[in-house]
Chains A and B, each alone.
Chain A
Amino acid sequence: MTRSTAIAGSMLGALLLTAFPAWSKTDIVIGMQQEPTSLDPTSDATASIDGMLAHNVFEALTSVTEQGEVVPELAKGWTLSDDGLTYTFDLQQGVTFHDGTAFDAADVKFSFDRAMGADSVNPSKGIFEPIAAVTVIDPATLELKLSRPDAFLLFNLAQGDASIVAPESVELAKTTPVGTGPFRFDSWTRGDRLTLAKYPSHRDAATVQMEKITFQFIADPASASAALLSETLDAYPGFPAPEMMAQFEADPRFAVEIGSTEGEVIMAMNNARAPFDDIRVRRAISHTLDRKAIIDGAMYGQATPIGSFYPPHGKAYVDLTGMYPHDVARAKELLKEAGVAEGTVMTLRVPPFPYATRSAEIIQAQLAEAGLDVKVENVEWGFWLEEIYKKLNYDMTIIAHTSPNDMSNFARGKSYFYGYENPEFTALWDRIKTEADPEKRDALLKQGQEFLATEAVHGFLFQLPKLGVVRKELSGFWKSSPVLFQPLAQVKWDG
């Protein structure tokens, strides 16, 4: 297609849209549970920044599909040298930032150098660790030299932390983000709402139906439910309360979508502390956990059990939930062998997330069957980060790990809050992260899952579900979330 036909095509598209405005609504109000305090995805880890802005306002070299596959975005394509150490990216041309400045390879270099620099506060600085040098070949070509092969680089470069920002506008990104995406930032009323408007100069603007997107921050599930039922919200893609899904399923106005996320929910055991340093104790506890009862009680049946640390929707998934069947007698035997007496007191320190607090009560009852006296302590998030995460001051806790490819956690050594270190696994993870061949990598990932399950490092509970409530007439929302972001360019009102 030549440029003139492309222009004619987009003009025709625009004409059709303006000629038949009554065909469809062009605005949407989306409920969000968490409000960020800053809007810069490259300096704040708050998931809702990515959820609203990544790949909507900001773009990256690559993107990821709902199935978890890497696709081109600001990079039209790329080549990798035979030694796996040099990526050459062929960039989109004619792209502009929302403030009108032009995008080219220098902006990518600026973004990456900023994220990698000594004073960088990028929450996922680790993504850039294998990058040795970023070189601008010409305005449309960029070269990344790596210090080691990195199997996850292209996937990681799609994350909000690797968003491409411009030196002209990055200073104010915390309050007025400027990117190259299909929507531009419009306004933010703190505590209330954030709005985006369609960016007409985006290369795919002709296929974008929404003119205006409003995110309304409603944390309380009962309030969110009332807002949906009274039709002030059109969609709530990450609904926080599984117990309320039944009323939406029964309501003909809504479609309820239950998908998967990258969040593995585990009952972590402090492997650095007795008696959890004894594999027999960890196995005994794994035998005691009855995942079905936990999922039924804590998640109203809306979650998939996991037997290791890898999402069930992933390509390399192996079902290991049968490795430690619920068997209290076997658990008691193992505890006896390990010298853990009946009535031993353990604490379960739980962060303030519904999946965790609800699971805790059920787990407490289950461990009591095996003769363990579990004290549940509900702690606030700041406390959890300080005492459990930083100081490893805990016996057991419940937490969801929502990052993709986070099996690396088990290779982070004794100072990481698992308190777990095993040279065999660290070596395995080194092979996984540098293996360029996807099939070989998947085989290694399977080994990794089996290793962690055999070691019974933690109690592996379930995959956190994504509960979406959207109006029936809406299409284009992702059912599952392999990443933290949700592209909205293809969200449409049907009819």
Chain B
Amino acid sequence: MVLFLAKRTVGLLATLLAVSIVVFLVMNVLPGDPVLVILGIDSTPDAQAALREQLGLNAPLLERYVSWIAGVLRGDFGTSHSFGVPVAGLIAERLPLTLSLALSATLLTVVLALALGVFAASNHRKAGDWGVMTLSQLGIAVPAFWLSMLLVLLFAVRLRWLPPGGFPGWSDPAAALRALVLPTVALALVQAAVLARVTRSSMLEVLRLDFTRTALATGLSRGRVLWRHVLPNALVPVVTIVGMQFANVVTGTIVIENVFYLPGLGRLIFQAISNRDLMTVQALVLLFAAIVVTANFVVDILYVLIDPRLRGRLA
């Protein structure tokens, strides 16, 4: 197990290093000059030169990469070109919102998907099953941003139950939670549709196995067999998909935060890329990569917890 963890950690660090090099190169190869973005098209050449010097953009590429990565290793992500403040601070003020959104959306996805998936499987080839299958097909087909607009029109504009967007800050927790409801639902519904189908088919496979028949034959109730015997054995593919979906949800916040104008990381990366704010983009892409890699890491550990049989294979 220790060896496994060590291997995965090395893999994680290597992935992040590769990501850092790719982002750095891509951002530098992309046409676009941060100085022109900041000063606009009516600026004079000498003002542009002065700013280029101030931002340290005249140093050679390799030197800039080395000094950046050396800073990152010391925990210093540098100063944002366009915001003029440390990148770490920019991220710290926005990370809580994006993480809350991603975690709550994932939680809602799992709860909805398990409930619907188990329900559909236990009503296999009946009306309930068809209902869930039809709804989930719709859910997969609908783009998240369009669903968001429909939710806003209904719950914010028509009914006025929830705000159409924005985030009031955590100082008022009730208002903060209200602001997160629609974005969470918009993110989760599409993912839940996918996951419900996976849960259903995985359940159906396990339902066909001998031990299920045996359990039912011993006189256990149908519900108990479903939740205690079938579901745990059907979870491995479900957890795999949840891991991938968490990554989808984290990147999905980029669109959702723009639709609901939430001050999170998704909106920050959008703004930073258009501003050619190299320092901020690099740090954010590294962070997103770290989140995704960590999520996969957690999934690997979950496998072992769910299915004790896998422990032998890891040793």
B42 in the interface (beta carbon within 8 A): yes
A45 & B42 in contact (Cβ 8 Å cutoff): yes
For A125, give its contact among B43, B263, B274, B275 (CB under 8 Å).
Answer: B43
- A193–B179 Cα distance when bound, in Å, is 15
B259 & A406 in contact (Cβ 8 Å cutoff): no
Interface window among A8-16, A218-226, A274-282:
A218-226
A121 & B50 in contact (Cβ 8 Å cutoff): yes
B83 & A190 in contact (Cβ 8 Å cutoff): yes
Decide if the interface of chain A is mainly helix, strand, loop or mixed: loop
A191 & B262 in contact (Cβ 8 Å cutoff): yes
For A189, give its contact among B31, B36, B263 (CB under 8 Å).
Answer: B263
- Which residues of chain B (74-121) have a CB below 8 Å from chain A? 80, 82-85, 90, 93-94
A175: chain B residues at CB < 8 Å are 84-85
A174 in the interface (beta carbon within 8 A): yes
Instruction: Please tell me the size bucket of the interface on A.
Output: 35 or more
B31: chain A residues at CB < 8 Å are 382-383, 386-387
- A389–B33 Cα distance when bound, in Å, is 11
B214 in the interface (beta carbon within 8 A): no
Interface membership of chain A positions 209-225, coded 1 if the CB is closer than 8 angstroms to chain B and 0 otherwise: 00000001111101100
B277 & A37 in contact (Cβ 8 Å cutoff): yes
For A227, give its contact among B46, B84, B164 (CB under 8 Å).
Answer: B164
B54 & A382 in contact (Cβ 8 Å cutoff): no
A424 in the interface (beta carbon within 8 A): no
For A191, give its contact among B38, B82, B264, B277 (CB under 8 Å).
Answer: B264
A229 & B50 in contact (Cβ 8 Å cutoff): no
A386 & B32 in contact (Cβ 8 Å cutoff): yes
A286 in the interface (beta carbon within 8 A): no
Closest to B275 in A: A37
- A35–B90 Cα distance when bound, in Å, is 15
A380 in the interface (beta carbon within 8 A): yes
For B157, give its contact among A37, A123, A191, A226 (CB under 8 Å).
Answer: A226
B246 in the interface (beta carbon within 8 A): no
- A232–B263 Cα distance when bound, in Å, is 17
- Which residues of chain A (112-132) have a CB below 8 Å from chain B? 118-126, 129
Interface membership of chain B positions 265-278, coded 1 if the CB is closer than 8 angstroms to chain A and 0 otherwise: 00110010011110
- Which residues of chain B (30-59) have a CB below 8 Å from chain A? 30-33, 36-44, 46-47, 50-51, 53-54
B223: chain A residues at CB < 8 Å are none
Closest to A36 in B: B82
- A295–B34 Cα distance when bound, in Å, is 33
B167: chain A residues at CB < 8 Å are 192
B50: chain A residues at CB < 8 Å are 118-121
- Which residues of chain A (121-154) have a CB below 8 Å from chain B? 121-126, 129
- A4–B84 Cα distance when bound, in Å, is 45
A385 in the interface (beta carbon within 8 A): yes
Interface membership of chain A positions 451-469, coded 1 if the CB is closer than 8 angstroms to chain B and 0 otherwise: 0000000000000000000
A81 in the interface (beta carbon within 8 A): no
For B32, give its contact among A46, A121, A189, A385 (CB under 8 Å).
Answer: A385
Interface window among B60-68, B131-139, B148-156, B197-205:
B148-156
Closest to A40 in B: B84
**Number of B positions contacting A (CB below 8 A):** 54
Q: For the complex formed, measure the closest distance between the CB of A143 and the CB atoms of chain B, giving whole angstroms.
A: 24
B277 & A223 in contact (Cβ 8 Å cutoff): no
For A232, give its contact among B47, B164, B271 (CB under 8 Å).
Answer: B164
B267 & A191 in contact (Cβ 8 Å cutoff): yes
A38 in the interface (beta carbon within 8 A): yes
B163 & A122 in contact (Cβ 8 Å cutoff): no
- A175–B41 Cα distance when bound, in Å, is 23
Closest to B168 in A: A192
Given contacts A218-B165, A226-B153, A232-B163, contact A389 B36 (CB under 8 A): yes
A121: chain B residues at CB < 8 Å are 39, 47, 50-51, 54
B166 & A386 in contact (Cβ 8 Å cutoff): no
B36 & A385 in contact (Cβ 8 Å cutoff): yes
A226 & B149 in contact (Cβ 8 Å cutoff): yes
| Residue picked from A119, A121, A381, most chain B C-beta under 10 Å | A121
A219 & B156 in contact (Cβ 8 Å cutoff): no
B124 in the interface (beta carbon within 8 A): no
| Residue picked from B85, B166, B262, most chain A C-beta under 10 Å | B166
- A223–B276 Cα distance when bound, in Å, is 25
B165 & A226 in contact (Cβ 8 Å cutoff): yes
- A120–B164 Cα distance when bound, in Å, is 42
For B261, give its contact among A37, A190, A220 (CB under 8 Å).
Answer: A220
B44: chain A residues at CB < 8 Å are 125-126, 129
Given contacts A123-B42, A381-B274, A389-B41, contact A226 B262 (CB under 8 A): no
| Residue picked from B42, B268, B275, most chain A C-beta under 10 Å | B42
- A387–B32 Cα distance when bound, in Å, is 8
B47: chain A residues at CB < 8 Å are 120-123, 125
- A118–B167 Cα distance when bound, in Å, is 42
Given contacts A45-B43, A219-B261, contact A35 B271 (CB under 8 A): yes
Report B's interface with A, CB cutoff 8 A.
30-33, 36-44, 46-47, 50-51, 53-54, 80, 82-85, 90, 93-94, 149, 152-153, 156-157, 160, 163-167, 169, 257-264, 267-268, 271, 274-277
A-B contact pairs, 6 of them (CB 8 A): A43-B38, A123-B42, A191-B94, A192-B167, A227-B166, A232-B165
10 closest Cβ contacts across the A-B interface?
A: A382-B32, A45-B40, A191-B263, A386-B31, A37-B82, A192-B263, A226-B164, A121-B51, A123-B39, A174-B84
Q: A118-B50, A124-B42, A190-B93 are in contact. List 17 more A-B contacts (CB 8 A).
A: A37-B84, A121-B50, A123-B47, A191-B94, A192-B262, A217-B261, A223-B165, A223-B258, A223-B261, A226-B164, A230-B157, A232-B165, A383-B32, A385-B41, A386-B31, A387-B31, A390-B36
